[in-house]
Every structure is written in C-alpha cells, then in structure tokens.
Amino acid sequence: MEEIKIDLQYKGELFKPIWKKLITAGRANEGLRAEWREQLSKIQQEIGFEYIRFHGVFHEDMMVYHEDENGKPMYNWQYIDSLLDFLHSVNLRPIMELSFTPYDMQSGDKTVFWWKGNITPPKDYEKWSMLVGAFVKHCINRYGKKEVLSWYFEVWNEPNLKLFWSGTQEEYFELYRVTAEAIKQIDTDMKVGGPASSGSVDGSPPWVEDFLNYCRSNSVPVDFVSTHPYPNTYPIGSDGNQREGYRDENGTYNSLIWLKDIMNNCGYIDTEVHITEWNASPNDRDLIHDTMYMAPFIIQNNIKCLGLADSLGFWAFTDIFEERGAGRSIFHGGFGLINAQGLEKPSYNGYWFLSRLGCEKLYSGKNYIVTRKEDKIQILMWNYCHFNAAFSDGVRTGLSDYDRYSVFESKEDKNLKFIIENLEGRYKAVTYVNDRENGSVFDSWVANGTAENPDTDDLAVLKANMKPKGSICYFENTDSYERDITIKPHGVVLIELSRVSKFT
C-alpha cells in the first residue's frame, strides 16, 4: 500500500488548469438546437469551461455567404448571431474555427461529412478575405472590440488530411496568410493561429514545423499554435488494411513534448498552444468512449500535461453530433460527455472531478493529486487501466456492444493510505466514488436491460446511476488523521476536506 502524507500547513505551487480552457462541439448549426443548448448550459453550470470550438461557421447551413447574379458578396449573420448570443449567455467565448468554404466560393465539389462541408480552397482568396474581415467587424460591432480581442481565430480544420482539405500544403499556407492579414488589418491584437493539424506519431505533429517556418520566413503572424494529437496509431493488419490502434498511456504527454520541442526549435518558445481536438480516439463510433475508462483517462492526461499546453480541448461535449449522421444506439461510442438522451457518461464525471480541484498543487503522484481551493483540500485519486497489447495493435475482436472491458490489461485494486497532518479543530470529509458500480451510466444500462430506445422509466433508472456516489463523515483531531482508500480498476475517488464549526 502506498502511503502519502499531507501536511495542511504546506504551501504548494500554483498552476493553470488546462482542462477549464476549452470544450468543443461538432458544428455551428447544431448549436441552434434546444437540446444542444440545454446540455451545454448544464455543463457550464456544473463544470464550467471558458472557450468552445466547432466546425462549419461558414458552412451553407449557417447561410452566411451568397453571391448575387453579378458575383457580388451578400452576408447574413442571423444564425451566427443566435449562436454567439447563446454562448455569451453561458459565459463561453469562441476559438473560432474559420471553415468550410461557402458553396458560392468553392473551387470544386469535394465535401466532408453527412452535412457536406466543402473542403476545396476558395476560388477567390480576395472574396474569402472580405468574408473574414466582414465577419470580424460584425462581431466587433455586436459584442465590442474588447470582447472580440479575447477570442481566438483558427484557420481551417486538419488541412494535413485530404479528408478536410483538397488543396496542397502551399495552398493552405496561402489561405492562412490571407486570413491572418485580413484579421490583423482590423486590429493587430486579434489572435489568429493554426495549422489545426491532426495526428502525432514518431515525434512529429504534422505540418507544425513547416507551418512555423513558413510564417517566420514570410513574416506571417502566429498568435497560437493548434493541433490535434489523438493518442492513436494506424498499423497495417495481416489483410493489408489499415486499422485503428492506440499508443501507450503516455501518448498525449509525449505528443506535447514533441510539439514543444518543435516550437522551441522554430523560435516560437512563448507562443500559446491550444489542442483544439483531443479524445481517446478520433473515431465517433469508438465503443470505448462510453465506458468507465474515460474518467481516469481524462484525469490522468490533463494532470500529466499541466504546463505543456494552454488548453486540452475535449472533442466533443455532446453526442448531438452528425458527422456520419445520428448514432443508431443510445451508447454507440460517440464522442460526447453527454449522450443524445441527456445521460452523463463517465467522461462527464472526469471533467466534473477536475472542476472540483483547486489551483494550488500540494502533492502529486502517478495516481493522485492533492490541491487546495481557498480553505478546502481536494484529494483526487484514480486507477487507470490501459488497453491490452492486441487491442492497442488494432485487433478489435474483443470489443462488442455490451462487453467493452475485456480489451484492457488486467489490473488490481489500487490501495492508498493518506495521513493528514497538522489538523486543528473539526473537519468534514466528503467522499465521491465513481467506478463501474458507482456512477457509470453505460454499465448501468447493461445491467438494466440495454434498452435501445429508453422510455421514461428506463431513463429515470439510468439518470439515478450516472453520478458519482457521495458520502460524508466528520472527525476531530489535533494531530493527524489516517484514511485507507481502495480504488477499483477504471475507478476515481475524490475526497474534499474542509474545516467546520463544531456547531454545524
């Protein structure tokens, strides 16, 4: 049993909680729906993020850009205004991904997703520049320059993948230059960045080095670097087909170390880093996303990566998400913290636990962190279990709709002993437990009949089993307090300790 001593008089170190900076969503138009807004409002009330990022602000379904019969641009900001007004009402600002090409500006007919975002370079970069400039000016007129100066403008999404950008790397760099200049002409303090590339294998986040060297050589501004280091590999199977695998548990951490090294070598040492997409995988039908694996995965990676990025943006907050159309099952492996029926997955609980932490780190280890928030102490512990060798190599035969845990390495309970010293007075300890038996809504769904179209009764049962289990105890001691904690595989335990009056 690992023994950890906590001295309440100890002064720790301050840190910036990268998990609070950014959350993400599928596309702009989904943000016009009532259910999407209800879920995001709930997340803001219970967890609270600062920024949000999504695709498709210039896509056809937002009806922003059209040309008249003479080719003159016409702008319509009504849908964008509705979305941004709502985000403002729930204390969220955008990392505004500028995509995709409006149909009247497209140079070809290649598209992505069920909703057909056009991925071809604009046929007229001057008109693209005018659109970007008009959009930024409109936002300033509506929300004020001070507000818009706090936003981030990201150029495109994953242009290193032909799935998202039909042009060349050089054409993307030109798009970035034109966009950055259009924004900076309005105010040089506006924040613009990229390249929003995807992947990170063998020490090289795609396009970042080339992008930074281009910008440096051509005096193109870069206020932040964005990339998407999903912790995955794509080995070729015995059948000759590529399959989805997983790197080791340090995959995200190593990617951010590699990214920092490249930025330092390119002369961008102090430039902000925003990971504008991140999850256990970029597959919106990965059955792992619904499981209890996700809570310790989120907690461990966010804590391990402190100081390596300014944000680690989880993709995405909801299963109201339609890149391949709506999911056919209540738990279809969607990205969301919350599923389409409003049920909070273990990933939601992972962020809820992180949101309880203070910004003063007292102690930390491989499976725990101790923080202080005002006069309260938070002890967060987890038992992370990684995938077994076969599944990591892309062999997915051990995974099924209802059995999703046989693909993990076998692991025992984690036992910790905490000795809390320099106590003085009476204390309250609130303990929250989240594991497969306590607060995993997927496991509850399996245990209660796997209803694919849950009725009111089904949903009531599942909602009663989607939160961590809480308990409270009081103790009084002028010396020390000992507590043995057992954390089950895939489990998380949080203890919140506070001093209270004897009369409460």
From the candidates 60, 277, 344, 496, which is the catalytic residue?
A: 277
Q: Which of 158, 344, 360, 496 is catalytic?
A: 158
Q: Say what angle helices 208-217 and 169-186 make with each other, to 10 degrees.
A: 50
Distance, C-alpha 172 to centroid of its chain? 25
Q: Measure the CA–CA gap between 75 and 81, rounded to whole angstroms.
A: 12
Q: Where are the beta strands (DSSP E) in 404-468?
A: 414-421, 426-434
Q: Which residues make beta-bridge pairs with 94?
A: 52
Please check whether residue 487 is in contact with residue 494, taking contact to mean a CB–CB distance below 8 angstroms: no
Nearest-CA neighbor of 308 among 13, 18, 14?
A: 18
CA distance linking residue 469 with residue 89, whole number of Å: 31
Report the half-sphere exposure of 145 (CA within 13 A, side-chain side). Answer: 7
Taking the alpha carbons of 353, 355, 361, 362 in that order, is the dihedral positive or negative?
Answer: negative
Contacts with 410 (C-beta within 8 Å, 6 or more apart), sequence order: none
**H-run or E-run covering 270:** none
Could you tell me if 428 and 500 are in contact, meaning their C-beta atoms sit under 8 angstroms apart? Answer: yes
Question: Which of these, 136, 141, 125, 16, lies nearest to 64 by C-alpha position?
Answer: 136
Long-range own/partner contacts, residues 63-72 (CB < 8 A, 24 or more apart): 64/102, 64/131, 64/135, 65/102, 65/104, 65/105, 65/131, 66/102, 66/104, 67/104, 67/105
Q: What end-to-end distance do the CA atoms of the chain give, in Å?
A: 35
Cα 28 to chain centroid, rounded: 16
Residue from 229, 180, 238, 172 nearest 202 by CA: 229
227 in Cβ contact with 195 (< 8 Å): yes
Give 407's strand partners.
none
170: annotated active-site residue = no
Give yes or no: 277 in active site.
Answer: yes
- Which SS3 state, helix, strand or coil, does residue 39 take? helix
d(CA 291, CA 145): 43
Query: Active-site positions?
Result: 158, 277
